[in-house]
Amino acid sequence: MTTPTSEPPKGSIVQKSQKILRVTGVTCIVVGVVLEMSPAFSGAGLITSAAGVCFLIGYFGLKKQGRYWPIASVLLGVGLLGIVALFLYLCPHGNCPQYQARARQSEARVNLGNIFNAETMFYKEHRRYGTFEEIGFKLDGTYHRYTYRIDVSGKPGTVIPAKDGTVTPDNTVVPAGYSATGFTVTATANIDNDPTLDQWHVNDQKQGLDKADVNDVTQ
């Protein structure tokens, strides 16, 4: 019969290690969940959450004072590797700002793709294209860096202004516009705080999603 192990002395290295692993694990999971809510950082959120789970398992393994420590130590190592992977994910080649700008571009591609799908469904039912309001497209929450337009007239339902950053002008290469038989939706933002604007578009032929009209990352 296994005799239950006693708690480590208060203030001991073991107890301090338990606290560090517990706090680190919970913090990583919370931060990971928040990051996963953003399309731009969903990958980073998944890595952070996974690392947090590994740290918590390490905490419980250490709390058992050796009973599950062999397995927990392996998972603790995985958690540490997850933190290293997160750093490399966010900072490839030591260039964090450029990577973060590239990650932000995924917002434009995802949302423009969703707008295309919504316009397509609206057209099948009404035999025409419509405004954001008519097709039921909106962005909830407080995070989106790009300003989206389906028309430059400023009519209600044709512009979704940025909520994270400044509202930027329309695409200078391919302007926004729509009619009963076609549409061009644009997305613009300053994603790295230089004078150049990142500019994207998608039209009723689903053209424009493969690359930016003006790439703020490379210019």
Q: Where are the domains of the chain?
A: 13-90, 97-203
Residue 78 burial by Cβ neighbours in a 10 Å radius (0-12, 13-18, 19+): middle
Is residue 62 over pLDDT 60? yes
Average pLDDT (13-42) is 74
pLDDT band (50, 70, 90) for residue 61:
low
Nearest alpha-carbon partner for 179 in 107, 129, 132, 215: 129
Phi-psi region of 132 (alpha: psi -120 to 50; beta: other; left: phi over 0): alpha
Contacts of 59 (CB under 8 A, 6+ apart): 18, 21, 22, 25
Query: Which one is predicted more confidently, 111 or 9?
Result: 111
Is residue 11 over pLDDT 80? no
How far are the Cα atoms of 41, 83, 173, 217 from residue 77, in angstroms, in the given order? 23, 10, 49, 35
pLDDT band (50, 70, 90) for residue 1:
very low
The greatest distance separating any two alpha carbons of the chain, rounded to the nearest whole angstrom, comes to: 80
Secondary structure letter of residue 128 according to DSSP: S
Nearest alpha-carbon partner for 176 in 154, 201, 213: 201
Is residue 34 over pLDDT 90? no
Query: Which one is predicted more confidently, 13 or 202?
Result: 202
Is residue 103 over pLDDT 90? no
Secondary structure letter of residue 146 according to DSSP: -
Asked if residues 169 and 78 have their Cβ atoms less than 8 Å apart, the reply is no
pLDDT tens digit string along 161-177? 998 888 999 999 999 99
Structure tokens at 178: 């729509």
Q: Mean pLDDT highest for which of 40-54, 94-108, 157-171?
A: 157-171
pLDDT on residue 140: 77
pLDDT band (50, 70, 90) for residue 194:
confident
Share of the chain above pLDDT 70, in %: 70
Average pLDDT (115-141) is 94
Query: Which one is predicted more confidently, 185 or 84?
Result: 185
pLDDT band (50, 70, 90) for residue 48:
confident
Is residue 209 over pLDDT 50? yes
Contacts of 91 (CB under 8 A, 6+ apart): 99
pLDDT on residue 216: 84
Residue that has been written with the tokens 């097709």 in this structure:
135
Residue 19, classed as helix, strand or coil, is helix
pLDDT tens digit string along 17-28? 777 777 877 887
The pTM score is: 0.59
pLDDT on residue 93: 46
Secondary structure letter of residue 65 according to DSSP: T
The percent of the chain in helix, strand and coil, each rounded to the nearest 5, is 50, 10, 40
